[in-house]
Every structure is written in C-alpha cells, then in structure tokens.
Amino acid sequence: MRSRLVRNVRVWRREARPTLALALPIMAGMVGQMLMGLADTIMVGHVGVVPLAAAAFVSAVAHLPLVFGIGLLSSISVLTAQAFGARRPDEAGETLRHGLIVSAAMGLLAALSVLALQPFLNLLGQPPDVVEASRAFLRLFGWSLLPALVGHGCKQFSEALNHPWVPMFVLLGGVLLNVLLNWVLIFGNWGAPALGLEGAGWATLAARTIMAVVMIGFVLHASALRAFQPGRWLAALRREKFRRLVELGWPVASQHFFEISAFAFAAIMMGWIGADSIAAHQIAITCAALTFMFGLGIGTAVCIRVGHAYGAGQFGRMRRIGFGGIGLGAGIMSLFGIVMMVAGEPIAAVFVASPTVVALTAKLLIVAAVFQIADGIQVVSISALRGLGDVRVPALIAVLAYWVLAVPLGAALAFPGKHGAVGMWIGLASGLGAAACGLSWRFHLQTGIAAAALRNANLNPPFIPAPTQIADRAGGDEPGLCGCHQGVRDKQNGRGSV
C-alpha cells in the first residue's frame, strides 16, 4: 500500500514539474504586460491630472474589446496543442494559417469598435477637458489593438508548441521599448517634440507593431517551428477550420467579457458607497489582478498540456495534469493570500496616505486573501476544460457565478446589509468560490467521461470532435519534451503516426 502511494505521488509530481516549467515564462510575460500599463500610467501622470484621467478613460473604453479578442484567440492555442499531441503537424500548420487571419480580423474589428466610440465620448459622463484630451490617444490606442491581437495569436501558437520563452522575451522587450518611446515622445527627449498623452499613444502603437512583426517572424522562420508550418500558404481556405476556431473561441471571449464587466460594475457600485470605498477597491483589485497573473499563467500551461494529452489520447495523464495544475494554482495563490492577510496595511500604504483608505483596503485584502485560493482553482479549472475543447458549459458556469451570485449578493450585503465595501467583496469572493467548485467538478466529470468512453468503445469523447479517432491510451506516460510523441494511430484513415 505504501509503495503504491509513493509511486502515485511520484507520477503526480512528474506532471507538476513540466507544467510549472511551461508556466514560468508565460507568467513573466503576463506580468510584463501589466508593467506596460503601469509604466504608461506613471509617465503620463507626470504630464498632468487631465492627461492621466484621459489615459484611464481610454484604457477603460478599450479594455473590453481587447479582452474579448484575447478570449476569442484562445482557440488557436487549444487546436494547436491538440494537433501537437496527436502528432498532426499539418493540422497545427492549418491552425496557424487560419488563426492569423482570424487574429487580423478580430484586431481590425476591435480597433474599429473603439474608433466608432469617438462621436459618443461626450455621452459617457466624463469632464469635457478629459474627453477632449482623450481623442488623439483613443485613435492611436485603438489602432494598436490590431497588431496587439495579431501578436497574441502568434504567441498562442508558439506556446502551444512548448516554445514560451521567445514570446516572453518579446513581451518584456516590448515593455522596455514602450518605456523608452514614452520617454522620448511624451517629454520631448532626443530632439523629438513633446507630445504629452498623444506621445504615449504613438509609443504604444509603435511598440505593439514591432512586437507583432517580431512574433510573426519567429513563428514563420524559427527552425524549432518549421515542422509545423502550413504545407501551402496560398491553398484554399477551409470554412470548417474558421468555424472551429470561432466555435471554441466565442464562449471564452463571452466569459472574459462577462467576468470583466462584473468587476467593472462592482467598481461602479463602490462609487455609490463613497470616495474612500472606490479608492480602497481600486488598490485591492490592483493587487488581486497582479497575483491573478500567476494563476492565469499556470492555467495557460495546463490548457496547453491537457490539449497535448487529449490529442495523444492519454486520458489518465490528462486528469493528472489538470488536477495537478489546480493544486499548483491553489498553492501559489494561497501564498499570496497569506501575504495579503498579514501585510494588508503596509501594502495599502504604498498606494495612498489616507489612514481611512489604508484601513479599509486592509479589510478588503483580508477578503481577497480568502478568495485567492478560489481564484486560482477557477482559472486553472476553466483553462483545463479549454484544453479539452469544452468551452460552452464552463462559460455558462462562470457567467452564473459572477452575475447571478457574486454581483447580486455583493450588492445585497453592501447596501441593505450595510456592510459597505467589505460586503461587496464578500459577494465577489462567493462568486469565485462557486465558479471554482463548479468548474473543477466539470473537469472531473468530463475527463471521467472521456476515459470511460475510450475504455468501453475506443470512441472519441462526446464533448468535442477530435482531429483523429484515438486509440485508448488512458493512463499512459509521456516521454521526452512533453510526452505526446508515443505513436498515435489515425484509425479512421488507416495511417500510422506522423
């Protein structure tokens, strides 16, 4: 019994190591993206209050289409990972060819949606001087969404093939480039005109364009990815491939939209409570957003590795990767939770000097410390389900948790219950807890269905049409880089492994 337990622990630990190794550069890149926004805020703040308010206004307006686009393009990672696991480099190449078109189309749509808001900015309740200062920055920031989403599509493809380091370095290099261009164009250094907020817009557009060009060059010409290029770039496009990309990406995009909008609405309700509450909420949510990047990085790695195992038909490994990643996410987020609980007041004092706001922020961070674990579990669980291609029901679970439970409960506790900002955060924590329970249980059920279906009939799992009819390899181990290279047979076409 003891030897069996030791053997099981070793097997689970063996899956945790490659997940963490893949997650580390992804996490670094995500934190780098946040640092780019922080650098813009700090540098524009030195120009004046109105430019800073205008930059925050534009960021709020443009954030939803950007997040929606990122969610839609998650399908590139899922389909590439599954093709990699099934040893179908031709399918990975087709995903790249069609995914770049979807990325460009989504980027153009996001840019045009932001630009279309220009005539209506006066209707959004902002001061006239802030609206006027934001117009040029809005145009430049809007156009930057096109290269941003094209570069993100390339990043998804590269990471799904176990090459996350180059995207990480590109993102961090983009942060440094953005800071340099801000310094030149905002303040007029090196002989450039001092453009203020408009200079920050040009810096963002230039940095994102250069990052996109570098990422495209990498995925098209890197020797490590050469085997996964399309056989013919100019071959006829397949409507089915576009449909599959959109079918997988649309629910994820909707889930991102409703999650972000729920937290945005919570921020609005904080303003109904008072200025101290909105200030404390902003500080606490900034801290939570930073720590969330670590959970999201693990979730992204789990999504990729579950996709690899799914494509290879290794359903015993798929469960170990998923639940091992959920444990990693919960463990790392619990460490951040302990820091928030113990050092709430010193953390708040870094942002603001008001004793009232510091005290309230410390209370919110205690609640945040509790929901850190739930946040880690829910983001890794929904990412693991995404690796299976199971996206519709998880999106529905997330929407119900945020909009049917979290927001109404938070409002009830904050206003009729008279618990104020703390009550609102208890509602948000409850929603995250419900999402964590529902999504982790969904992963348990879906992986159980997949393994049972293959054991009983050697059929594909019922929740997603896989690229091949996969033989039952439940419980198989993975050798090599990430395991997916154990001869998967395409029984439908009578071919051996690629």
The answer to whether residues 361 and 213 belong to one domain is no
Q: What is the pLDDT of residues 115-157, one digit of tens each?
A: 998 888 887 777 788 888 889 999 999 999 999 999 999 999 9
Same domain, 409 and 487: yes
Q: What is the mean pLDDT of the chain?
A: 84
> Domain ends where: 179, 214, 237?
237
Non-local CB neighbours of 186 within 8 Å, separated by 6+ positions: 43, 44, 47, 194, 195, 196, 197, 199, 200, 203
Do 279 and 218 belong together in one domain? no
Decide if 242 is inside a domain. Answer: no
The answer for residues whose C-beta is within 8 angstroms of residue 457's C-beta and 6 or more apart is none
Residues 233, 257: one domain? no
In angstroms, rounded to a whole number, what is the distance separating the alpha carbons of residues 294 and 329?
8
Query: Is position 243 within any domain?
Result: no
Q: Are residues 11 and 87 in the same domain?
A: yes
- End of a domain among 237, 267, 295? 237
Q: Is residue 133 part of a domain?
A: yes
Tokens of 242: 């576009």
Predicted TM-score (pTM) of this structure: 0.81
Query: Domain check: are 41 and 2 in the same one?
Result: yes
Instruction: Report how far residue 428's alpha carbon sits from residue 430's, in angstroms, rounded to the nearest whole number.
Output: 5
- The DSSP letter of residue 495 is B
Share of the chain above pLDDT 70, in %: 87
**Are 188 and 50 in the same domain?**
yes
* Residue 480, pLDDT above cutoff 50: no
Q: What is d(CA 264, CA 407) in angstroms, rounded to the nearest whole number?
A: 10
Nearest one of 443, 454, 464 to 488, comparing CA atoms: 454
- 333 with 209, same domain: the answer is no
- Please report whether residue 245 resides in a domain: no
Is 470 a member of any domain?
yes
At 268-322, the pLDDT tens digits run: 788 788 878 877 887 888 788 888 889 989 999 999 999 998 888 887 788 889 9
Asked if pLDDT for residue 403 goes beyond 50, the answer is: yes
**Token pair for 23:** 């997650």
Residue 495 has pLDDT above 70, yes or no: no
Q: Is 246 inside a domain boundary?
A: no
Can you give the residue range of the structural domain that contains 113?
Answer: 1-237
Positive or negative torsion for Cα 191, 196, 199, 203: positive
- Residue 495 phi, psi dihedral angles, 5° rounding: -100, 155
Q: Say if 84 falls within a structural domain.
A: yes
The pLDDT of residue 202 is: 95
Q: Are residues 184 and 300 in the same domain?
A: no
- One domain for residues 230 and 305: no
Other beta carbons within 10 angstroms of residue 204's beta carbon come to 24
Both 26 and 131 in one domain: the answer is yes
Domain co-membership, 366 together with 388: yes
292 lies in some domain: yes
- Nearest-CA neighbor of 30 among 172, 151, 160, 223? 172
- Read off the pLDDT band of 491 (50, 70, 90): very low
Dist CA 159 CA 23 (whole Å): 10
Q: Which of 388, 254, 253 is nearest to 321 (CA)?
A: 388
